[in-house]
Amino acid sequence: MASTSRTPARPAPAFTPVVVGGDIGAYSLARAFHEAYGVRTVVISRLAGWHVTHSAITENVSCPDPFDPQELAPVLVQVARAHPEGPLLLLGSADATVKAIIQVRDEVGGLDERWIAPYVDLATFRRGTEKQNFTELCLELGVDHPLTRVVDLSQEVDDDLDVPFAYPVIAKPAEVSDWKRISFEGKQKVHTVESRADLLALLHRIRDAGYRDSIIVQDRIPGDDQNMRILTCYCDEQSRVRFASWGRTLLEEHSPGAIGNPAAIITGVDEEMVAQAQRICTALGWTGYANFDLKHDPRDGRTRFFELNPRLGRSNYYVTAGGHNPVTWYVDEHIAHDLPAVPAGQSPRIVQDQPEVLYTVVPVALVKHYTMLPEARAQLERVLRARRVRNPLVYRGVERDPRRWAYIAAAMANYVRKFRRHYHPDPVGAQAPTEGGSAR
């Protein structure tokens, strides 16, 4: 399928995109920049993951710890020296790298005037992304959200603890950066807990491992991956949503280290959920991209927000696949200074039209195998008949290194093995072992 990426309003001045992170999300950003502007992206990571190695569109730079602003700052200075002409647009491919970028920009002072780091300040970042804060915000705004209990592990676990909703429940960390630093037997990114006794045992294990932040305990919405949704919004400097990309997840990853990351998405439109997202972004004073995880609740037909990710997500290429290259909004606003004008006293038109396109990072046969809900299967069959399928890793005519294609082939085979091992959903798609809380 030919690229359907949004064409910028006018050619951007010469600039260098810089992405902190070495995963598939970083590569997807690099591909978006290359499709729109024909430029290579500097990718900064501790280790160059296979997604960004042997690539014609990336330049790899090593950083001992890209999550540590003190380690990241001098590497950014080196990158600026190596690219002395034009602006440098700095993005993170994970929450922790975005946080480090904000700290370098606002606290360490490692960025000169050439750098553009299009993120909110640290207080707004925390208010939007820390899960207990997001829960409180949704309650305040009347935004659809799962029933939630926040457990503060800075205190000893209360053995009389109970939750005001039925088991099984979902338990996940409020502070992902701290969560990554601890280890205990059976640790997952998101835990499904079957009983009160199991919840208390899990909380004790987490606290004994050294985690002292909050754990979010939520009502477990029925349904498997096919009920998950994704929404990506771009907010201008007045926190007005200018662009939104909606998607229905068909399949998520299920290996313990990557659980919850979307593996297959069909693009679409949902104006009601975009309107709710605008309320969140307005209340926060959000600028730049906000990426939301949601789930459709078959009990009442409503779709509920789980969390806000402060960036273009790991699966950001679904946006490009849907016909609107997301990086052009950054460039139009911050480099070309050419966002469409909004008449005084009016709200901007939100660009959100996109055809049904399948984004996938796994073999299509896997997507077909696990898509069982009749509505989802009919949607998938429509897209496959129209041959509207996009995989960010498959960049024909540009990526020519045979070693890279060998990695891709190995990754596709490995996905089949991992899904056979880790994912055995109910045949009717009614029960799932995971819910929300991904590192998208």
> Which pLDDT tens digit goes with each residue over 134-159?
989 999 999 999 999 999 999 999 99
Q: 260 and 434 in contact (C-beta within 8 Å)?
A: yes
The answer on 246 and 184 residing in a single domain is no
Q: Is the pLDDT of residue 3 over 70?
A: no
Q: Is residue 137 part of a domain?
A: no
195: domain CATH number is 3.30.1490
Question: Secondary structure of the chain: what % helix, strand, coil (to 5)?
Answer: 35, 20, 45
The CA–CA distances, whole Å, from 438 to 29, 188, 315 equal 19, 11, 11
Predicted local distance difference test score (pLDDT) of residue 26: 97
**SS3 assignment, position 420:** helix
Q: What's the token pair of residue 162?
A: 């109970």
Helices (H) and strands (E) in the chain, counts: 13, 16
- Please tell me the distance from the alpha carbon of residue 314 to that of residue 390, in angstroms, as a whole number: 15
Average pLDDT over residues 374-382: 97
**129-132, Cβ contacts within 8 angstroms, sequence gap of 24 or more:** 129/95, 129/307, 129/308, 129/309, 129/310, 130/174, 130/175, 131/172, 131/173, 131/174, 131/214, 131/216, 131/307, 132/174, 132/214, 132/216
The answer on 197 and 271 residing in a single domain is no
**DSSP label at residue 326:** T
Q: Is 288 exposed, middle or buried (0-12, 13-18, 19+ CB in 10 A)?
A: buried
The answer on 316 and 414 residing in a single domain is yes
199, 219, 239: which is the final residue of a domain? Answer: 219
Average pLDDT over residues 53-77: 96
The answer on 251 and 108 residing in a single domain is no
- Please tell me the distance from the alpha carbon of residue 330 to that of residue 236, in angstroms, as a whole number: 9
Phi, psi angles (nearest 5°) of residue 282: -65, -45
- Please tell me the distance from the alpha carbon of residue 244 to that of residue 247, in angstroms, as a whole number: 10
Predicted local distance difference test score (pLDDT) of residue 436: 53
Range of the domain at 157: 147-219
**DSSP label at residue 351:** B
395: domain CATH number is 3.30.470.20
Q: Is the pLDDT of residue 342 over 50?
A: yes
Q: Is the pLDDT of residue 428 over 70?
A: no
Helix axis angle, 122-129 to 131-141, nearest 10°: 80
The answer on 88 and 30 residing in a single domain is yes
- Write down the pTM of the prediction: 0.90
Q: Is residue 379 part of a domain?
A: yes
The answer on 375 and 398 residing in a single domain is yes
Q: Is the pLDDT of residue 383 over 70?
A: yes
Q: How many domains does the chain have?
A: 3
Nearest to 324 by CA among 263, 241, 239, 234: 234
Q: 308 and 291 in contact (C-beta within 8 Å)?
A: yes
- Please tell me the distance from the alpha carbon of residue 182 to that of residue 77, in angstroms, as a whole number: 31
- Please tell me the distance from the alpha carbon of residue 137 to that of residue 145, in angstroms, as a whole number: 10
The answer on 249 and 186 residing in a single domain is no
Q: Is residue 429 part of a domain?
A: no
Q: What's the token pair of residue 89?
A: 């647009």
Residue 282 pLDDT grade (very low, low, confident, very high; cuts 50, 70, 90) = very high
The answer on 74 and 49 residing in a single domain is yes
pLDDT tens profile 239-253: 999 999 999 999 999
* Dihedral sign from CA coordinates of 428, 431, 435, 440: negative
Q: Is residue 139 part of a domain?
A: no
Q: Is residue 340 part of a domain?
A: yes
The answer on 282 and 210 residing in a single domain is no
The answer on 240 and 94 residing in a single domain is no
121, 136, 167: which is the final residue of a domain? Answer: 121
